[in-house]
Amino acid sequence: MILAREQVARPLPQQPQPLRRPRRAVRAERLKLSGMVLLAFLCGVTVVLCQARMAYVGYRLQEFQKELAAARMENEALAGTVDRLLSADEIERVAVQKLGMVPPAPGTQLEVSLPARQPVIPTVPAARKKAVKEARPDGLLPALLGLLADRWGGSAR
């Protein structure tokens, strides 16, 4: 009987024996699978956030384009108003009606000429030094000569 018990305790050769994996291998596989699921979730969240941000930026761009179109229309309207106000007829109308000016008599002509532009030489010593310094060319040598001329009262040229 003892022999019979030993034979029953052993598995029969035709039955496949289940392969046992160590517990560490099972835990490692579960950890890898969990990590992959987490990574896929994070990638999905990132894609969704990027799409949402792109939609928001697109919406804001459309708003700014509408504002730009409105500003351009207002600018054109203001430019038309400025052109109308700067016309000679409008200036004459304002001068006559609001300022009480009288139009010139027919046949009278007034000629205004500007004198030729001449350099103005200031008479104040501080202003003269400033004008001389502005007229000097840039560079190290002219600056040094100008400094010496200012120090000992001469001309740098």
Record the tokens describing residue 111, joined without a space: 């000629």
The per-residue pLDDT for 15 is: 62
Give the end of a domain, one of 79, 95, 111. 95
Q: Record the pTM.
A: 0.41
Q: Are residues 89 and 137 in the same domain?
A: no
- Rounded to whole angstroms, the Cα distance separating 46 from 52 reads 10
Examine the pLDDT at 33 and tell me if it is beyond 80. yes
Domain assignment present for 64: yes
Q: Which domain holds residue 151?
A: 125-157
Mean pLDDT computed over 47-61: 96
Examine the pLDDT at 138 and tell me if it is beyond 70. no
User: Count of residues for the chain?
Assistant: 157
> What is the tally of helices (H) and strands (E) in the chain?
5, 0
Closest-CA residue to 136 (of 156, 122, 111, 154): 156
Domains in the chain: how many in total?
Answer: 2
Domain assignment present for 153: yes
- Of 27-31, 56-60, 70-74, which range is least confident? 27-31
The per-residue pLDDT for 106 is: 82
Domain assignment present for 119: no
Give the end of a domain, one of 74, 95, 116. 95
Question: Tokens 């007034």 identify what position?
Answer: 110
The per-residue pLDDT for 18 is: 67
Q: Are residues 90 and 29 in the same domain?
A: yes
State the maximum Cα–Cα separation within the chain, in Å, rounded to a whole number: 152
- CA angle, 64 as apex, 59 and 70 as ends, to 5°? 130
Examine the pLDDT at 26 and tell me if it is beyond 90. no
Mean pLDDT computed over 17-21: 67
pLDDT band at 47 (very low <50, low <70, confident <90, very high): very high
Examine the pLDDT at 127 and tell me if it is beyond 70. no
Domain assignment present for 109: no
The per-residue pLDDT for 148 is: 79
